[in-house]
Structure 1
Amino acid sequence: MRPVIAVDGSHLKGRFGGTIFIATAQDGNEQGALGHIDDLVFIFDRHASIEAEISKVFLDATHTICCWHFIENMNKQFQRNDVAAIVDKTIRSYTELKYNLHMEELRNLHQMHMIMPMIPVPTSGPVYTVQKEEFIRNMIQRWFHDRYRVAQSMHHQLTDTTHPLILKSVEKCAYMTINPVGWNIFSVKRSGKQWTVDLARKTCTCNKLQMDMFPCSHALAAARERNLDFTSLCTDFHKIQIFIDAYSIPIMIVGHSSYWVVPADITERVVLNPLSKRQAGHPRGSRHASALKRTTTQSCRRCGQSGHNARRCPNPYLIMMVRAELFLRNIGASLYPVI
């Protein structure tokens, strides 16, 4: 699995309150999966309890904020679409040069100097939250079965998500000039730009090879010059065998409690209900709208103005006049003669 885990919580609304936590990783086919690997990076929404528990259990892990939550905070605070778009480009920058260019765009926006220290590390990851134990089991059981079947049907060495990206990069190699610098170091040029590829260290100055963990177009051009199999530049994360092994163990059915074989030491344990505090007031019937959800304004289909519909339109012939004016403009005439 990719060494990045997204963590989130979902409030339970059943008989017993509380919060259920879900940890989600990403497999080689860019789908959600659960697993344990070294050098973890945890992504969460800056919830204090999540950060406290992660710091206790995973001492060497890196903690970052999810860029989706960060962009939502930007929309709530500034109410500007251009801010969220530039922040998203800044977060997803591969190189320091592009990062600085997008940061300069933010500095040029009015009253944006206050959010500069808040820009997080470029990272994202998918997060799924659920509320019921049986729903979780059925969902993960279906995931493992379907994705194991998909993995068995793949015919390439890489996953179906990575293989088309490699083929797309191969097409760009025909327009590149490769100059060997050393046995494993190459200088790749195209359209006046130059990149340095180190096949031994699996690095490229475009940083896509290091971050995506599969070869970019520059690395593919260098590998072709050395007659090197491009799959050797891919991490095991993108290979089919690892993808198959990730879903090879099925999620078993729990079954009815009458068929359970429970040891005596487990039966004797007393498990109390979770401690939960009910909030004051009547519970909400609907969730809070996301900051990215934009409200739509209803308008009249006749005149295009808001505040009424076509049945109560005070300008029933306005739209006809506009259409007639556009038609006459196309033929070089006008409804209103020039005096």
Structure 2
Amino acid sequence: MKHDHNVEVKYNKDWRSKERALEITRGNATESFTELYSCMYMLFTSNAGSVIELQLTENSCFLYVFVALNFSTKGWKYCTPVVVVNGTFLKSVYGGTLLVVATEDAGGKIFPLAFAVVDLENNKAWEWFFGKFRKAYGSREDMIIVSDRHESIIKGANKVYPEVPNVFCVFHLLGNMKSKFKKNLKKIKDAFLSAANAYTLKKFEYHKQELQKVDGRVHDFLEEVGYEKWSKVYSPNNRYSNMTSNLAESLNSVTMSIRELPVYPTTHILFEVIKGERKNVVDFNARTCTCKRFQMDQIPCAHAIAVFQKCNPDTYNYCSPYYKNENMVDAYKETVYPVGNKDNWVVPDNVSSLIVYPPEGKIRAVRPKKRRCKAFWERKTNSFKQMKCGKCNQTGHNRITCRNPLKN
């Protein structure tokens, strides 16, 4: 207000004005809870078969809400049996925590399964959440739960899913080690991630020994955590390359802009985000998809493949010839022969007598650059920051080139 309109406003009035503006655009945080039942009803009516639960206290106050849409419950059997869970804080007036769970589809994309809004990320909330998740999805063969080392997640998962292994995100575990062990962090990181992603016991043992050489305390810490909790080779069930909780973290990043909203618009927008995540149209004849990948890459996208599985056409007939095996073989059918030793060359005189001279011009005396020149946005220094004089506090020059008189 002072910069744009040159009007002095007291902090209290400014704050109340902002709160009023947010209430107009977002709705009243208190009144939004009264619309929850209507929101949940419309979700269930529009998506028959969904699992939607609203938990209240004895005084009819909001406690928990859980949403698993029908398309997610039906589509999960076509995705990997990996369940990635995570929680993040909400920043509305009443606070709360958003719990999300996701998996990975056939195209390697995020497939959201369920979300919940709870009061706190504690044992009771996570146990309730996993209970509702089991009601919606049950259990699958080779199912595995990936999370960070939050004690409430571990307790809730073990109580509701005692038969399902609960493994840890390697980057969260690496963060725990960074805060616990301060020395040789670079070597610890490289050895730990190599051991975690090793496919064979031989490679795992090699990197484990390297880790022990760097710091024996780290080796003992990881052994205490349990190799099966963080290593791919010791994992009880296949993790399908999901060594981190990035699937759930990515969903959290999508919802970052709505965490300050009241509970009704939060749940409504989450529904729209999940709904819009999978809405694509595939045209066989035109070989197009609304995601644009089919027509631009000339190879069936994940959405087209999902439709192919229902219609049973030959997927390879919809690929560009450049992706087919025949073209691959033909591209490499010719042989590259070495020229052999120079002493054994047989060159005609009319060819060996020809001379090629170097380019015209002087040879530069400066040392040739071996690295490319980085653009200004890649440099560490902020090129957008304008120079400011430490003498007169004005911008556009420094104190060495300053010509302004000193102020008393």
TM-score of the pair, normalised by structure 1:
0.44
Q: Which has the larger radius of gyration?
A: 2
Higher relative contact order (CA 8 A, sep 6+): 1
Q: When the two structures are superposed, what TM-score results if normalisation uses the length of structure 2?
A: 0.37
Structure with more helix by fraction: 2
